[in-house]
Each structure stands twice: as structure tokens, then as C-alpha cells.
Chain A
């Protein structure tokens, strides 16, 4: 449709007669029906204040453009958003609106927070065609309800983002990764937990059962990174694991692969993402019926590869957390649903909110609502 302004977006929403599929770059495999309503034409950074750690951008701005602008000032999007393209086989340009709409966070989520924690303000168009603003561009803001958080992770079902304000962080001087070898799932997760229960500020904690590698990332000033690596080695000596250290670029590459689920790219099968209590991880994975898995977030995030059409949620049963079907064919996504079913109380609130923000029920209709 070529929407290049918020006014045009309002017109498009008001003109919509049936369901619309709200889209940024269309790289995240969101199965929405209807005419595509793309914000990719809303492109550009509108304000960047490095000294205030804030950036404001139109929703369709490519993530790559924002990262490039930040890199010039030695800053970054600290929540480390994943790039879904290789895992899902999608093409196109990931947008900042898409990142926020799907609350996409990477390995650093365990130390700095999720995408939603970095979203300071939004402008969006609701289902009536009204432009709503909430939050702002300052880091502390409790003025009224936090619709900013509500919009993050709402997958376009409440409104179409037109502009986002973000908090950014300095890029540390360097990074390094301590790798423990030969630990099984339970021991690997226990080692990650031990490291996170230390004062040494781990910013990445992953375990890969396939090659029995347990990885811990440290970032900061060079001398500080060296010091903390040494302390972590001492702390984890009790595991009996062999250890080695990967520095700078090698460390960065390892975490890009973890972030983008490189292990499952070009592999057959459905991909599931399970958020759970870290210590529950090993038992959940073992009982999931999946073929292969690895852990991020110290065990609190499990990426699993399962046979096509396998109902992993049923295999997991009731647990503290939720399972998202990230990659599967259309029929499977329709049968098993992308999102985890909600309890009756939460589902009722969710449906109520959707009816408030999108009374005509046109935005990504039925995407997050099982009982539609």
C-alpha cells in the first residue's frame, strides 16, 4: 500500500473493511490473515541523543540502520534482538517496529532485560483509527498506565505501531566467553545458575547438549573482563569440567549463533521456544519428545527441534511457563496454535483488551486468541 506517513496509516486503518495482516519487514513468520498492512514505509530515525541514551525511530526503520547509527557512537541495542530470517527462511528487512511488536530479545535478556524493558514510548494507531501516544523518551516515567509494555509483544493485535522510543546502552570495551566442556544438561544448567548467583555480571548463559558446551559471557573493560573470567573459573572449578576462553570476535560470533538459533537453521522439523523456570529446563526438555534442543537464559529459554506436527505442548504438560511454536507449516500452526493457551481469567482480560483497542477485530485477527 506504500504507507509513508502516520496520517496515511490512519487512513488505511479507517478504510479497512476486513482483516489486515500487520507487518514490519515480515521476517518473523507471523501467520496473520488478510490484506497486508505494512509500516515498512515509515522509515527513519527521528531523534538520537547519545548522551541521554535514547533513540526515537519510525516503526518501519530497519534494525540494521538503527544498529549502524548506534555503533557510530559506540552504543547498541543491549537486548540483542534475534534475526529470524535464517531460521525461518524468510527474506526482507527486520524493522524496529517488528522487534518491539514481537518483544524479540536475545541472550543478554538475562542481565539487561527484554526488548520491552528498553521501549520507552510508542505512538500507534488503534482499530478506530485514533493515534495514541504513551510513555515518552525519558527513562523513568510512571505517568498513567504503561501501554508501552502492553504494545510490546502484542504482535500487532492491539494497534499498529508508527513510532518507538528506545533506551540504548554503551557498547562495552570488550567481551569474552568461558566455555565448560563435557557437562550434561542438569550439570550444565547448575553451572550456569552458580555463575549467575555470583557478583560477576554474566551477560550470556547458554548450554548446548549436542556438543556438551556450557557458555558464559562477560563484558566490560578489558581488565575487568579478565578479572571476572578468572573468578568464574575458580568458582566453577568444582564442576570438574575442562574450560577454555574465547575472546572478542570469537566470543561475539558464538553469541550471534546462539541468538539466531544457528544450530537449527537448515534443519528439518518444527521449532519450539519454551520459556520456563531455569531449573525446570532439563526435565522439561527431556520429556518434550523433541529431537534436539539447547538452552539460553541460563536454562530459562529452551529452543527445541521436533518432528513435524509433534504436539510438544501436550508432551510438556502443565508447567511454570509457556511454549511458542516458532516454525511449522501452515496446517500445524493452525492445529497447534503459535501461542500457549491462557488460563480462563487471563484469556478473558486479553479478549477484553483486544475488543477495547481493536473493536472491529481486524488486526492480525485470531493470532493470539485461541477461542476466536
Chain B
């Protein structure tokens, strides 16, 4: 992936920028030493690295505002960063940029059970939001698999999902309000403790805007009471197509599982070798989880099993206890680790209409043969969110490029069947140059026009989301003006 050439005029101003930032932040919150800035050179898309010019760690909304105002006045690009767990390169810096990390802002500001909301600073990790309310039986629903580490700031930027979003929705469905700082330092509040913010749905626009519209410092989130219980059923099939039909029948039957996970044979084989979860060796495996009281769970699992029986499963295992549930989930939860044991991998997250599942899996298999790279598929089947894991060897020259080419073909296929490039990871730099595949020039212009309103100088995370050629005239306005 290409990144814009750093602006030497900005780098030449480094000393002045550092001095001004030190004027508004504590000494230890401004990192500019070339060894120390390396800690911020990449996120979880580790194939791409570039230390920023400076990294700052503000502790308050006012400090964020001061930092942004200074960068605005100095014409310095700012890359906001939560915990740096983006798989799409959303927090990848450029050499002329300031990384603005919100990690020090992790307080719970207000917990309001009566109104079922929690207000937090956005540096707080996803899991610790639930941690703050679980002793009272509540939880925060979106559960990206990086939830132990990822920050709410990044969840909002990428509109993160998770395994349980089939029932509970993704971040945008659980976000009620934000305090956000615009690039010029202005602080705005959108939404709050009430439902459906008035006026235009700015909240919906901000969520998923990949840190390009503003820096969100506080968030009001919806919390829910935990269900009485949850248990899965594991179903194995000899055919992908049959597994896909079974998913569709479960959904049509009126059962709304909290999760439907899908694994294909290469993935099952890898996880069995790694985690020994006792999975059947078959073409496709479904894990379907439902919630409620014990009796409610039994009833739903029985219905799902009846539907599955009609499709001649090779294996059908209803969990009866917490131990059995854990065993069923063990393989799925170690799938990424298992694939990582075999080789380096690239994880895609294109989404497809569920009905296209068999066709897409078949085509991915053919592409795998063509490129000579192995691929395993883990899949949130209920909502069509795929996770093909393409294996490659990072030490082998040309393998990464080959893998990226393969990945791009898979994502083009997702769009071709009526789906999209990314279901939950975001565009970042990883899918930036594929945006043309999904969107026409007018579509991209409409989106870029939104950024023009929030950040007219295009200083916030400017080299992300939009193909560089499409955004070039906007990103270079300020350079020309200098």
C-alpha cells in the first residue's frame, strides 16, 4: 500500500510543533524522540510501519482540543489512535504526522442503570466497559474479538462489530452520544442519554468515520442486562451448500440466535490440530448459540436441531452445560491462533448476502489453487460477515504482495455478489484502493464532501479510507496554499 510522501516543510517545523505541544501538555505526554515514537509506528496491520513525527497522550478533552488547535494552526496531519488494534491500518502514521493517542483517557464518567447507559472516556477498553457494570448484571454488547485490548475510541471510529451482533447490533446501534473535538479545536456534543438525537443523524455519520471527522473523547453507550444464560449447538455438514441452506432455514424459522458461526474444512483441520476441541472432520461446521432461561434455551436448541436434522448433519451436539459450551467454543475461539501456527496470515472481513455463501466459498477455493496460497474460512454466518484467513510467508519475497492480490480478488468477489469490502474492520489503508470497486466517483465524492465539512483542510487521518488518487486534490489544498 502506498502512503503519501511526507511533507518536508512540516517535518522542518518539528521543533516548533513539539514546543507548542509541550506548552499545553505534561512533559511525559509529548513523545518526540525517534526511538520512542517507534512504539506508535504501526497498529495490528504490522506489515506497514512508519514512526510518526510526534506522539501525544492527552488526558482531558481540553488537552485534545489544545493539541488539535495547535496542529490545525501548524498544518500538521493528525492520526487518532485508540489502542492500535486496527487490522486495516486505521492508526498507521505518516512521518509528518502527530499521533493522538487517547489511552490515558479511560475513566467511567457516569453509570446510570435506571436509564441503562454508561458514559466513558473513549480510551477505555471495550471489555472494561462491561467490567464496570457486570457486578450489577449488565454488559456492553458489541464484542470485537480484540475486546480485551481495543478502545471504545477505535470501536466508534471503525463501527466495530463482533460475534454477538446478530442479536445486539454493532457499535452504531449501541452508541447514544459523543463528545467530539473537531480539527480546529472546537468541542461539540452530539446525542446523550436520550434515544434518537434530534436533527440530522450526525452520530450515525461519526460512527465508522475512521477518525477522519473528529476525535471522540467521551461516549454514552447503551448497556443491557445479561441474559439468564446462553448455550450453543454444534452442527457438522458434508457440504458447504447444505450448511448455508441450514443457516437460512434457522433464520426463516423465527429463531433469532445470538450468534451463528461457520468454519470450513481447512479451518476445522487447523484448529483440531492446534486446540483439539473434538470437532468432527467435515466440510462445514456451524456453532449456533441461543440465550434465555434453561428451558427457553432447550426449546430453541431443540427447534434448531430439528431444522438441522432435515439437512442430514454428520454431527449434532447440543450443549447441556457450561463445560460443554466451552468445549464447543474452544475451537472457534482458537481458529485465528491455529491458522497463525501454520504461517503468517491476512484476515479479510468482506460481507456477502448469506445466499451467496456456497458460491463464494467455491470461488475462494479456486482462487486458493490459482495463487497457491492456503485459505481457511471462519464466518459470522448469520449476517454474512466472512473472515477468510489467507496464509502466506512474510519472509518469502513476493508472498505478501501475492497474498494482497488474492485478498483483493476475494473482496471484489464479495462486492460482485452484492456484498461489501469490509463488514467490521474498516477500510483504513488496507481496502482504501479498492473503494472504486464498490463505489462510483459520485458516491466517493459525496462521502469526501462530508469530510470537507468537518475537516476542510483534510488534516485528520487524511490518507485513509479514500483512494489516494480520489482524495489527492483535497489533501493537497493546504500544501498548495503554503
A residues apposed to B, CB below 8 Å = 49-54, 73-74, 103, 105, 109-110, 113-114, 116-117, 126, 130-134, 136-150, 152-154, 157-158, 169-173, 190, 193, 196-199, 221, 223-224, 227, 275-280, 297, 300-301, 320-322, 324, 339-340, 342-343, 345-346, 349-350, 352-353, 355-357, 368
Do the beta carbons of B431 and A143 come within 8 Å of each other? yes
Q: Which residue of B lies closest to A301 (CB)?
A: B195
Most chain-B CB neighbours within 10 Å: which of A50, A143, A198, A224? A143
**Which of the listed residues B138, B169, B425 has the most CB atoms from chain A within 10 Å of its own CB?**
B169
Pick the contact of B443: A109, A134, A193 (CB < 8 A). A134
B450 touches A322 (CB 8 A): no
C-alpha gap A349/B209 in the complex (Å): 15
Residues in A with CB closer than 8 Å to B292 are: 224
Contact at A170–B253, with CB atoms within 8 Å?
A: yes
194-242 of chain B: CB within 8 A of chain A:
194-205, 207-209, 225-228
List, in ascending order, chain B residues with CB within 8 A of A139's CB. 166, 351, 383-385
Q: Tell me whether A147 and B205 are in contact in the complex, defined as CB-CB below 8 angstroms, given that A142-B425, A368-B200 are known contacts.
A: yes
Tell me which residues across on chain B come within 8 A of A223, comparing CB atoms: 295-296, 299
Verify if B482 is at the interface (C-beta below 8 Å from A): no
Query: B446 to A346, Cβ gap below 8 A?
Result: no
Contact A138 B418 (CB under 8 A): yes
- Measured between alpha carbons, how far is A153 from B247 in the docked complex, in Å? 33
The answer, yes or no, to whether B421 is at the interface (CB within 8 Å) is yes
B62 an interface residue at 8 Å Cβ cutoff? no
**Minimum CB–CB distance for B258 against chain A, Å:** 12
B40 CB to nearest A CB, Å = 23
- Name the residue of chain A whose CB is nearest to the CB of B432: A144
Contact A54/B450 with A142-B208, A146-B208, A320-B193 known, Cβ cut-off 8 Å: no
B residues near A, CB below 8 A? 112-117, 137-138, 158-159, 161, 165-166, 169-170, 172-173, 182, 186-190, 192-205, 207-209, 225-228, 247-249, 251-256, 292-293, 295-296, 299-300, 351-355, 380, 383-385, 418-427, 431, 435, 438-440, 442-447, 449-454, 465-466
- Closest Cβ of chain A to B163, distance in Å, is 11
Number of A-B contacts (CB under 8 A): 273
- Please determine whether B443 and A132 come into contact, CB atoms closer than 8 angstroms: yes
Q: Are B228 and A199 in contact (CB under 8 A)?
A: yes
Question: Nearest 6 CB-CB pairs, A to B?
Answer: A149-B204, A51-B248, A322-B198, A140-B423, A352-B453, A170-B254
Instruction: Tell me the smallest distance from the CB of A174 to a CB of chain B, in Å.
Output: 11
Given known A-B contacts A199-B225, A349-B188, A143 and B438 have beta carbons under 8 A apart: yes
Interface centre among A109, A150, A152, A169 (most CB of B within 10 A): A150
Q: Are B384 and A350 in contact (CB under 8 A)?
A: no
A145 in contact with B450 (CB, 8 Å): yes
A208: shortest Cβ distance to chain B, in Å?
A: 19
> Complex: how many Å from CA A286 to CA B374?
66
Roughly how many angstroms separate A39 CA and B353 CA in the complex, as a whole number? Answer: 28
CA distance A12 to B199 in the complex (A): 26
Residues of A within 8 A of B193 (CB): 276-277, 280, 320-321
Bound complex: CA of A350 vs CA of B418, how far in Å?
A: 32
B residues within 8 A CB of A117?
169, 172-173
Q: Contact check, A133 vs B440: say whether CB atoms are below 8 A apart.
A: yes
Given pairs A147-B450, A221-B299, A320-B193, 9 additional interface contacts (CB within 8 A): A51-B248, A103-B201, A116-B196, A144-B466, A146-B204, A150-B205, A153-B196, A343-B188, A368-B200
Residues of A near B425 (CB, < 8 A) are 142
Closest to A221 in B: B299
Determine the residue in chain A with the shortest Cβ distance to B448: A145
Residue of A nearest to B206 (CB): A146
- Scoring A105, A197, A300 by chain B CB atoms within 10 A of each residue's CB, the highest score goes to A197
Task: Give CA–CA (A110, B117) in the complex, Å.
Answer: 13
Q: What are 20 contact pairs spanning A and B, CB under 8 A?
A: A50-B251, A51-B252, A136-B418, A138-B383, A138-B419, A140-B380, A141-B351, A142-B208, A142-B424, A144-B439, A144-B447, A145-B209, A148-B204, A149-B201, A170-B251, A170-B252, A193-B116, A221-B296, A227-B295, A349-B453
B296 touches A224 (CB 8 A): yes
Partner of A340, one of B113, B198, B205: B198
By beta carbon, the residue of chain B nearest A154 is B200
Cα–Cα distance between A74 and B205 once the two chains are bound (Å): 33
Q: In the complex, A170 Cα to B257 Cα: how many Å? A: 12
Q: Identify A343's interface contact among B114, B189, B431, B465, CB under 8 A.
A: B189
Most buried by A among B194, B299, B449: B194
A144 to B9, CA, bound (A): 30
Assess A51 versus B447: contact at CB under 8 Å? Given A132-B442, A146-B159, A350-B199.
no
Contact residues in A for B202 (Cβ distance below 8 Å)? 150, 346, 349-350
**A50-B299 contact in complex given A126-B446, A150-B205, C-beta closer than 8 Å:** no
CA distance A52 to B209 in the complex (A): 26
Partner of B195 from the list A52, A114, A126, A280 (CB cut-off 8 Å) is: A114
Give Cα A136 to B203, complex, Å: 20
User: Contacts of B419 on A, CB cut-off 8 Å?
Assistant: 136, 138
How far apart are A40's CB and chain B's nearest CB, in angstroms? 24
A52-B248, A145-B450, A224-B292 in contact; A277/B192 too (CB < 8 A)? yes
Asked if residues B188 and A345 are in contact (CB atoms below 8 Å), the reply is: yes
Are A277 and B194 closer than 8 Å at their CB atoms? Answer: yes
A54 to B422, CA, bound (A): 18
Inter-chain contacts of B296 with A (CB < 8 A): 221, 223-224, 227
Q: Which residues of A contact B450 (CB under 8 A)?
A: 145, 147, 150, 353, 356
In contact, B208 and A278 (Cβ under 8 angstroms): no
* Neighbouring B residues of A173 by C-beta, 8 Å: 254
- How far apart sit A96 and B353, CA to CA, in the bound complex (Å)? 22
A residues within 8 A CB of B385? 138-140
State whether A277 touches B227 (Cβ < 8 A): no
Structural contact, A149 and B172, CB atoms closer than 8 A = yes
In the complex, chain B residues whose CB is within 8 Å of the CB of A357:
446, 449
Nearest neighbor of A134 in chain B, beta-carbon distance? B443
A142 lies within 8 A of B449 (CB) = no
Q: Which residues of A contact B189 (CB under 8 A)?
A: 343, 345-346
Asked if B351 and A51 sit within 8 Å, CB to CB, the answer is no
Nearest CB of chain A from residue B461's CB, rounded to whole Å: 13
Taking each of B200, B227, B440, which has the highest tally of chain A beta carbons within 10 Å of its own beta carbon? B200
